[in-house]
Amino acid sequence: MNLPYTTSQDKAPFFLMAGSCAIESKDLAYEIAERIKQITDSMGIPFIFKGSYRKANRTKIDSFTGIGDILALEILKEVGEHFQVPTVTDIHESAEAFMAAPYVDVLQIPAFLCRQTDLLAAAAQTGKAVNIKKGQFMSGASMKFAVEKVKHENPEALVYLTDRGNSFGYGDLVVDFRNLPEMAAFQVPVIMDCTHSLQRPNQGSGVTGGQPALIETIAKAAIAVGADGLFIETHPNPSIAKSDGANMLPLDQLEGLLEKLLKIREAIL
């Protein structure tokens, strides 16, 4: 499956990583993937379908974690084959890299784990593309070492770097857009995570909050700064999503948002 390698200097649209936070069911995954593909095909935007086969980083012991690893991975593979789109999922331990690799095109390293050398090395060894989320505790410039770890294991690996904000106090995040050009200096595509960067993590209720009304603001700024791609979690009804509903974009708002973003992209080229 061809993966986008758009850079901010290319006269091409940004690419989009999008889908629900977690794989909740086959029907929902198909519904979301079908709608996003319709929209992105009509606009000429390269699309990678995202879904987590398991949510390992949960606040409470009884939080939803998944429907079963292999079942969810099989759904991801079916979505990719049915809609002819690349797919991405996150991994949490080295052994998971080799488990997930046969089912997806991109292995994603969660932000909290971006310094885990063995995990990065294992992802690289699979031969899959690797999307590394910048830690909430790190600068964009410091992510060069994560790229080096992947390239050390596989010099030909396609590496993406994704910003998702920085910790600001105990329960909030703030986006420093200097991180995007800093990471682009490593000659890899850079992505802005427009939904997780608006989380309000570690709330006293045990449920992560968010500010989805600002997704458009973050996305517009990211494109203006030169992001190569956007990461957006979306759901037909975020209020009933089993994971991260508080900061997801309603699916019916995606098309209008992308139309605005394409105009910004065209203006800065």
Which residue segments constitute the domains of the chain, with CATH numbers given?
15-268 (3.20.20.70)
Query: How many helical (H) and strand (E) elements, i.e. helices and strands, does the chain have?
Result: 8, 13
How far apart CA 106 and CA 96 sit, in angstroms, is: 13
Estimate the crossing angle of helix 215-225 against helix 254-268, to 10 degrees. 20
Estimate the crossing angle of helix 69-83 against helix 26-43, to 10 degrees. 30
Number of residues in the chain: 269
Please list the residues that pair with 16 across neighbouring strands: 47, 230
pLDDT digits (tens, 9 = 90+) for 115-169: 999 999 999 999 999 999 999 999 999 999 999 999 999 999 999 999 999 988 8
pLDDT at 207: 46
Mean of pLDDT values over 222-248 = 89
Mean of pLDDT values over 82-97 = 97
pLDDT digits (tens, 9 = 90+) for 175-226: 999 999 999 999 999 999 999 888 666 554 444 555 778 899 999 999 999 9
How far apart CA 23 and CA 200 sit, in angstroms, is: 22
173-174 vs 166-167, strand pairing mode: antiparallel
* Full-model pTM: 0.92
How far apart CA 61 and CA 254 sit, in angstroms, is: 32
How far apart CA 166 and CA 169 sit, in angstroms, is: 10
